[in-house]
Structure 1
Amino acid sequence: MPTHEDRNRCHYVMAFIAETLRFRNVVPTGVAHKTLVNTKLDKYTIPENMSVMVYQGIICRNEKDWQNADEFTPERFIDSEGQYITTRPKAFIPFGVGRRVCAGEKLAIADLFLVLVRFLQSTQDYDIVLDSNDGIPLKLILISQTMPDV
């Protein structure tokens, strides 16, 4: 059975989870905020007490911040030595930003890791193929070749 300590050895699995959260954000609109005072943002004025939502989904898939943003590429979270990159790019915000970042982020990632590894262990006799979604081509991932033994 996988444990939380295994995350430090399963770099590709962690990169796969990060890329999944970037590519298909669970809550792309985040949580609503409210302005406390009249605020000027670029050429826009946002009045006091106005509800504001950040569309995190577009930031996580913005071509300006991500090379080949419409491609599912877990390797973008792997460094040249094959290690999972723990310092996240500023545009990686699937759990929000600032003081209102999701309090359950660490628990969610830990649970995603445990569930994914257990699922992969129970399906090791199969090839897992990602199909295209909404016309966006995805890479073929052969889990059996990339999964380290846990």
Structure 2
Amino acid sequence: MPTHEDRNRCHYVMAFIAETLRARNVVPTGLPHKAIVNTKLDKYTIPENMGVWVYQGIVCSNNKDWQNEREFKPERFIDSEGQYMTTRPKAYIPFGVGRRVCPGERLAIADLFLVLVRFLQLTQDYEIILDSNGGIDPNPDITDQLAPYPYKIKFHKR
């Protein structure tokens, strides 16, 4: 059984989780914020007490901050020595920003790790295939939709 301590040895698994959260943000709009003073951002003025939403989905997937942003590359979270980078880029904000960052981020990452590793352990004797017989194209490069398509997953014994 995987343990929380295993995260320090499973660098690629941690990078896979980080890249998954970057590529398909679970809550792309995050939580609402409020400007506490009149603020000028570029050519825009945000008045005091104005509600503000950060569209995290764009920040996590724009080409300004991410090279080849449409490619799924867990390696972007691995350093030159093969270690998972614990200090991530500023544009990596799947759990929000500022004082409203999700307080459950560490628990979520820890649980994602345990579930993913256990799933991989239990399915190592199977080939996992996305079924596209229902007219569903299993294309991960979908940008015009917030929710995933209802894929069917088939397991075939090796």
Q: TM-score, normalised by structure 2?
A: 0.81
Q: Which has the higher strand share?
A: 2
Q: How does 1:86-125 map to 2 (within 5 A)?
A: 86-125=86-125
Q: Displacement of 1:135 after TM fit? A: 4.6
Q: How does 1:1-150 map to 2 (within 5 A)?
A: 1-128=1-128, 131-135=138-142
Q: Which has the higher contact order (CA 8 A, sep 6+)?
A: 1
The Cα shift of 1:132 comes to: 1.5
| Structure 1 residue runs of 4 or more that deviate by more than 3 Å after TM superposition | 127-131
Structure 1 segments unaligned to the other structure (5+ residues): 137-150
Distance in 2, Cα, partners of 1:135 & 1:52: 27
Write out per-residue CA displacement over residues 62-120 of structure 1, whole angstroms, 9 at most, x where no aligned residue: 11111100011111111222111111011111111121111000000000000000111
Task: Count the aligned residue pairs.
Answer: 136
> Post-superposition shift, 1:134?
4.9
The answer to which structure has the higher helix fraction is: 1
Which residue of structure 2 aligns with residue 143 of structure 1?
none
Where 2:102 maps in the other structure, the secondary structure is: coil
The Cα RMSD (Å) is 1.5
- Structure 1 residues 104 and 135, CA, compared in 2 at 3 Å: closer, same or farther? closer
SS in 2 for 1:90: coil
Task: For residue 39 of structure 1, report the CA deviation from its aligned partner.
Answer: 1.6
Q: Structure 2: which 5+ runs fail to align?
A: 131-137, 144-158
* Secondary structure of 1:17 counterpart: helix
For 2:37, give the aligned amino acid. V
CA 1:129/1:13 → structure 2, altered by over 3 Å: closer, same or farther?
farther
C-alpha distance in 2 between matches for 1:36 and 1:135:
36
| AA partner of residue 86 (structure 1) | T
